[in-house]
Amino acid sequence: MILFLTLFFVSGFCSLVYEVVWLRLAMGAFGVTAPFVSLFLSVFMAGLGLGSWGAGRLCRRLEDSSASRALRLYAGAELMIALSAFAVPFLLTSSRDLLAGAFGGVAWGSSGYYWASGACTALALLPWCACMGATFPLAMAAITKRFKARSADSFSYLYLANVVGAGLGTLASAFILIEVFGFRGTLHVAAGLNIAIAAAALAASFMPSMGGSGGVAAPAAPRAASGARPDTLMLLFMTGLVSMAMEVVWTRQFTPYLGNSVYAFALVLAAYLLASFAGACLYRARIGKGDAQYDGAWVFSGALSLLPLYAADPYLPVNSYLRIVVGIVPFCGALGFLTPALIDRWSEGDPRRAGAAYAVNIIGCILGPLIAGFGLLPRMGERGALALLAAPLFVAGLRAARRQRGGALALGRVASVPLYGGAVLLAAMIVVFSSSFDDEVERVNENARIKRDYQATVTAAGSGMERILLVNNIGMTRLTPTTKIMAHLPLAFLPRPPKNALVICFGMGTTFRSLLSWGIPATAVELVPSVPGFFGFFHEDAAKVMASPNAHVVIDDGRRFLTRSAEQYDVITLDPAPPMTAAGTSFLFSEEFYDAAKKRLAPDGIMQIWIVEPLAPVELSAFAKAVKDSFPHVRVFRSLEGWGYHCLASREPFPSYTAAQLAARLPRAAVNDLLEMGPRKTAAGQFQSLLSSEVSLDALIAPGAEGLRDDRPINEYFFLRRGLAGD
């Protein structure tokens, strides 16, 4: 059995590496929107389910075959997974190019592109994900032939190894592999591991001990007579749905404390997986101890699922990482106990039944994120979503408590129904008395307003010049003259009257408003649907501005919009939200992004790129070098407030305008807009402050630095560099 433990540990490790990297490559191809991420996860999980179901049916034909045949099929599945390291990047890139031609204009609409990109993603991923899902039934078929007396619990054995491997794969890919090897190099590492375990399985299939039934069977471990209850498949579906839906909710709950870096997401996922491993270990240790252990987990599952409400309370005096431990580890441990227990009970070692049961669980996993992201969170927020998702767990707990009435649960000689009642009371207290980060924002800011959508929770708060915009309770921007300069500086440097302009990232709408003051058509692209709805909170004339026939707001991923758009713009201004280390930020600063932007930029057009500080020197170098490698002519100006850089990039040389000449190029409405927030009293004074702070682009680039690329987003993956090198 050690062989199978090792195989599934490494296989689980590789599977999460593939999922992490494929998701990143797919977002680079089709956008960083929540609908697409949900489509990707659904496709990934659907592939696992199809593979598990299909291999389970195949195993029915292997009943009269030896363990060797099952192992060879398993080795073939692992080799196919290894091939995906090379096939999936190619397929995603080809699909992106195909859709860029087919959807070559925004008139096609976002929904059509979502479905088309989802179909392309399915074609790229499903064969390999199906191979991943097939490994469970195939390995179980081999175990059944080799270890007949121990095969009844074989799924939980493999599940345990697979989950701990997946947890470590999540941590290794996020904290080590991607930083060292890049995304494609990390895929090649995973492929090498898949080839190694395929070779090990193939070699084992030729060993004499694997050729038949394995000789004399070991005596069976004692088990409680249970059998599969009729509701087992329903419970498997429910645990898959609830767990994945809650993971979406947890991400929003803990983002204000953990931040929006790739490491924060990796830690949440790793905690989920490693806690599931601990629960699976407990289940393996308690096999044969009776149904009280199993029913006890159900009794407490509902209350445990609401612990994140307590852990996300801003008044809880613990650090961010301890919040994760308190909030999700107990519940994930319970699921780690229950999921393999349910599948073992349903299958009793039969690979076909195990494959079907695992597929049912995965169907729930597919639906969970969709229900949470598009249904529950936009309508009722984190508290309401968790409470509703916990409801079926309380129903299952009540049924388990009633089954154990007159008996005892594992925690002592306490009547089960009163114990369940205590869990319900505890859960009610958590819901009633805990506070959320939104509650704290509303307490501090009486005029705070909150909107929720499928992408994020958006908050506008403050008054006067202290008004702020938060997305998932992380500060995005504030009222500042810097956002006006992002519009007026490139338009003033354009050697001819501008015809149109584009701003990527709407924010408070300040840059968009400033572009419109030139009397030209202006388009703003915003990822989060609720953000433009707060335009009027920050600018009193928002309704008038939006009523202009020149004003156009598009809800889309900025990079995806550039890929789909057929229009060319005289000015493209880029104002992504801080911090520059946030997950996905590099998609708007890489050389690949600038290649897409140049296709939408007029031949003599100007792109304004805002690089905000602070950044480590190596990261600032990568940002600047990407601009230098993408555009032949670049000018860099320190911001009016001294905390970032305006990079103007073009394929044509810049005119040598003085401050007075730049000011003279502004229409009267644009002058008024430029001076609205100061700090200088004249337009010429504003421009003079910028011209006097001009710096050389080369001064920002360290010797030997490489430009930021999609494959190596060093601003997002920096754990080793900062931790070991002290950068």
Spell out, as residue ranges, where the chain has pLDDT lower than 50. Answer: 106-109, 210-226, 407-413
Top CATH class of 1-214 equals: mainly alpha
CA separation for the pair 618, 270 (Å, rounded): 28
CA separation for the pair 216, 238 (Å, rounded): 40
DSSP letter (8 states) at residue 531: G
Closest by CA position to 637, among listed 504, 501, 486, 518: 486
Handedness of CA 599, 711, 366, 352 (dihedral sign): positive
Structure tokens at 360: 């049912």
State whether CATH 3.40.50.150 applies to domain 481-724. Answer: yes
Residue boundaries of the structural domains of the chain: 1-214, 228-427, 481-724
Scan for tokens 């007579």, then name that residue. 225
Determine the pLDDT at residue 439: 85
CA separation for the pair 505, 570 (Å, rounded): 17
Determine the pLDDT at residue 703: 93
- Report which secondary-structure segment, H or E, holds 490: helix 482-493
Q: Quick check: 335 and 243 in contact, CB under 8 A?
A: yes
**Does this chain's domain 1-214 share its CATH topology with 228-427?**
yes
Residue 685 CA: distances (Å) to CA of 234, 497, 647: 70, 22, 20
Q: How many residues does the chain have?
A: 727
Give the ranges where 601-724 is alpha helix by DSSP (H). 617-630, 659-664, 668-675, 683-691, 719-724
Scan for tokens 């949470």, then name that residue. 372
Handedness of CA 309, 314, 320, 321 (dihedral sign): negative
CB-based contacts of 434, cutoff 8 Å, min separation 6? 309, 310, 312, 313, 383
Residue 660, helix vs strand vs coil: helix
Handedness of CA 129, 131, 132, 133 (dihedral sign): positive
Bond before 392 cis per omega within 30 degrees = no
CA separation for the pair 707, 621 (Å, rounded): 7
Q: Quick check: 517 and 551 in contact, CB under 8 A?
A: no
CB-based contacts of 547, cutoff 8 Å, min separation 6? none
Closest by CA position to 139, among listed 198, 206, 219, 209: 198
The string of DSSP codes covering 265-312 is HHHHHHHHHHHHHHHHHHHHHHTTS-HHHHHHHHHHHHHHHTHHHHHT
Rounded mean pLDDT of the chain? 88
Q: Quick check: 701 and 676 in contact, CB under 8 A?
A: no
Q: Quick check: 181 and 188 in contact, CB under 8 A?
A: yes
Question: In a 10 Å sphere around its CB, with 0-12 CB exposed, 13-18 middle and 19+ buried, how is residue 651 labelled?
Answer: middle
C-alpha gyration radius of the chain: 28
CA separation for the pair 624, 636 (Å, rounded): 10
CA separation for the pair 13, 162 (Å, rounded): 7
Q: Which residues of 506-533 are buried (b: 16+ CB within 10 A; e: fewer)?
A: bbbbbbbbbbbbbebbbbbbbbbbbbbe
The listed CATH number (1.10.3470, 1.20.1250, 3.30.9, 3.40.50) that belongs to domain 228-427 = 1.20.1250
Q: Quick check: 500 and 601 in contact, CB under 8 A?
A: no
CA separation for the pair 588, 595 (Å, rounded): 11
